[in-house]
Structure 1
Amino acid sequence: MMTSTTMTIRVTAEAKERLEQLARITRRSRSFLAAEAVDRYLNTEQAIIDGIKRGQADVAAGHLVTNDAAFAELTAAIAGRDGNR
């Protein structure tokens, strides 16, 4: 069983009303919906941070592509896709 803890946050009156409406419509508690929103936000932000760290590791390891090479590859990919229509 997952343990939980209580947290207090400040939101706009509009956000609170929207949360209350969504809770009524979905028959979920405001707390459940807010916790779900926080969890999704954290997952998204963590994925961004992980991507940045992978990019930094690539740079540190010398795995670099010039802007011209990257642009040429993207242009070729787009041309190939357009040719398949």
Structure 2
Amino acid sequence: MGEDNKKTEELLNKVCIQLEKSRIGDYVDLMQNPYRMIALNFFSGVARGFGIAFGFAILGAFVIYLLQKLVVLNLPIIGGFVAEVVKLVQLNIK
């Protein structure tokens, strides 16, 4: 039983070492190719920018939709403020 545990532990250690080597190898490859690293960072930045722009557009549209619904309720204080905001937004859209 003890010998089986020892063999299993040795095998597990070998697997761990191989996993560590492969990750370090990928990192070294990336560091040795600066153009690839620049390209990866550029494209990840572009994707992040599009995601932020898309999310902000969806959120902004939702807020404007809610503001238009608040105007319909004719709340005295909030209604006037919201009406002005909606008018300004619609003027900027045109």
Q: Same fold per TM (> 0.5)?
A: no
The interval holding the TM-score normalised by the smaller chain is: 0.3 to 0.5
Q: Which protein is richer in helix relative to its size?
A: 2
TM-score, length basis structure 1: 0.43
Bigger Cα Rg = 2
TM-score, length basis structure 2: 0.40
